[in-house]
Structure 1
Amino acid sequence: MGNKENPHVLVIGGGPAGSTAAALLARSGVEVTLLERDTFPRYHIGESLLASCLSTLRVSGAYDKVAAHGFQIKRGGYFQWQNDTWLLDWSALVDAEAWSWQVDRAAFDDLLLRNASDQGATVIEQAKVTNIVFDGERPTAAEWVKAGDDTVHTVEFDFLVDATGRDGVLAKHFDIRRQHPAFRNVAVWSYWEGSHLHPDSPEGAINVVSTEEGGWFWHIPLAGGRNSVGYVVSARLAAEKLRGSDSRQFYLDSIAASKPMTEMLEGATQVAEVKAEQDYSYVADRFCGPGYVMVGDAACFLDPLLSTGVHLATYSGLVSAAAIATTLRGEMSETDALAYYEYTYRRAYTRFLSLVSRMYEHYIGSEEYFAHAHRLTDVHEGDSPEQSFTRIMAGLTDVGETTGAQELTGTEVIVSEAERLDTAPDVDGVNVKYMGGLDMSPVWDHWRDPLSDTDMGDVRITNEPFGLTSAPRTDAEREALTRPVLPPHHGAAAAF
Structure 2
Amino acid sequence: MSRTENVDVVVVGGGPAGSTIGSLLAKSGHTVLILERETFPRYHIGESMVSGMAPLMEELGLIEELDARFQHKSGISLRWGRDPEPWRSDFSAAFSATGSHFTHAWHVTRSEFDQLMLDNARKLGATVHEAAHVTEILRDETGRVTGVAYTQDGESRRATGRFVVDASGQGRVLTRQMTETTWQEDLRNVAVWTYFDSYTPIEYKDDILVEAIQGGGWVWGIPLSDTRLSMGYVLSAGKLSEATRGGRTQGDVFLDCLESSHLARTMVDLGAVGELKTTRDWSHVCDTFHGPGWVAVGDSAAFIDPLFSSGVWLGTSAAWLAARAIGAALEDAEQEQLALERFDTLYRQMFKDILAYVRFFMDPTRLREEYEERALQIQKMVTQNSRVGFVSMISGVSAIADVVDFDPMNVEDVEDVMQDWDEQTAAASSTAGD
Q: Normalising by the residue count of structure 2, what TM-score does the alignment of the two structures yield?
A: 0.88
Alpha-carbon separation, structure 1, partners of 2:396 and 2:52 = 5
Task: Map 1:321-360; keep pairs closer than 5 Å.
Answer: 321-330=323-332, 333-360=335-362
| Structure 2 CA distance for partners of 1:72 and 1:26, relative to 1, 3 Å | same
Name the structure 1 match of 2:115. 110
CA contact (8 A) 2:212 2:364 kept: no
| Structure 2 CA distance for partners of 1:14 and 1:419, relative to 1, 3 Å | farther
Name the structure 2 match of 1:169. 173
| Structure 2 CA distance for partners of 1:247 and 1:414, relative to 1, 3 Å | farther
Alpha-carbon separation, structure 1, partners of 2:47 and 2:400 = 20
Name the structure 2 match of 1:78. 77
Name the structure 2 match of 1:408. 417
Alpha-carbon separation, structure 2, partners of 1:100 and 1:155 = 36
| Structure 2 CA distance for partners of 1:418 and 1:319, relative to 1, 3 Å | farther
Name the structure 2 match of 1:58. 58
| Structure 2 CA distance for partners of 1:326 and 1:239, relative to 1, 3 Å | same
Name the structure 1 match of 2:3. none
Task: List per-residue Cα deviations over 1:419-471 (Å, max 9, x = no partner).
Answer: 99xxx9xxxxxxxx7xxxxxxxxxxxxxxxxxxxxxxxxxxxxxxxxxxxxxx
Q: Normalising by the residue count of structure 1, what TM-score does the alignment of the two structures yield?
A: 0.78
**Amino acid of the residue matched to residue 404 of structure 2?**
T
| Structure 2 CA distance for partners of 1:279 and 1:72, relative to 1, 3 Å | closer
Deviation of 1:338 (Å): 0.8
Alpha-carbon separation, structure 2, partners of 1:234 and 1:326 = 42
**Tell me, which stretches of 5 or more residues in structure 1 are unaligned?**
1-5, 425-432, 434-496
**Amino acid of the residue matched to residue 14 of structure 1?**
G
CA contact (8 A) 1:80 1:210 kept: yes
**Amino acid of the residue matched to residue 160 of structure 1?**
V
Q: Percent identity?
A: 35
**Amino acid of the residue matched to residue 255 of structure 1?**
L
Deviation of 1:72 (Å): 0.1
> Among 204, 207, 210, which residue is 1:208 paired with?
210
> Among 128, 132, 149, which residue is 1:127 paired with?
132
Name the structure 1 match of 2:156. 152
Deviation of 1:257 (Å): 2.2
**Tell me, which stretches of 5 or more residues in structure 2 are unaligned?**
1-5, 407-412
| Structure 2 CA distance for partners of 1:418 and 1:183, relative to 1, 3 Å | farther
**Amino acid of the residue matched to residue 76 of structure 2?**
G
Matched residue SS, 1:214? coil
Deviates more, 1:252-261 or 1:319-328: 252-261
| Structure 2 CA distance for partners of 1:142 and 1:161, relative to 1, 3 Å | same
Deviation of 1:345 (Å): 1.1
Alpha-carbon separation, structure 2, partners of 1:327 and 1:307 = 32
Higher helix fraction (1 or 2): 2
Name the structure 1 match of 2:46. 46
Deviation of 1:119 (Å): 0.8
Alpha-carbon separation, structure 1, partners of 2:90 and 2:136 = 47
Name the structure 2 match of 1:258. 261
Matched residue SS, 2:350? helix
> Among 288, 311, 314, which residue is 1:312 paired with?
314
Name the structure 2 match of 1:483. none
| Structure 2 CA distance for partners of 1:363 and 1:374, relative to 1, 3 Å | farther
Alpha-carbon separation, structure 2, partners of 1:393 and 1:122 = 34
**Amino acid of the residue matched to residue 178 of structure 1?**
T
Name the structure 1 match of 2:250. 247
CA contact (8 A) 1:194 1:267 kept: no
Deviation of 1:55 (Å): 1.1
Alpha-carbon separation, structure 2, partners of 1:404 and 1:363 = 38
Task: Map 1:79-478; keep pairs closer than 5 Å.
Answer: 79-84=78-83, 85-95=86-96, 97-135=102-140, 136-147=142-153, 149=154, 151-199=155-203, 201=204, 203-243=205-245, 244-266=247-269, 269-270=272-273, 272-330=274-332, 333-361=335-363, 364-381=366-383, 383-404=384-405, 408=417, 410-413=420-423, 416=426
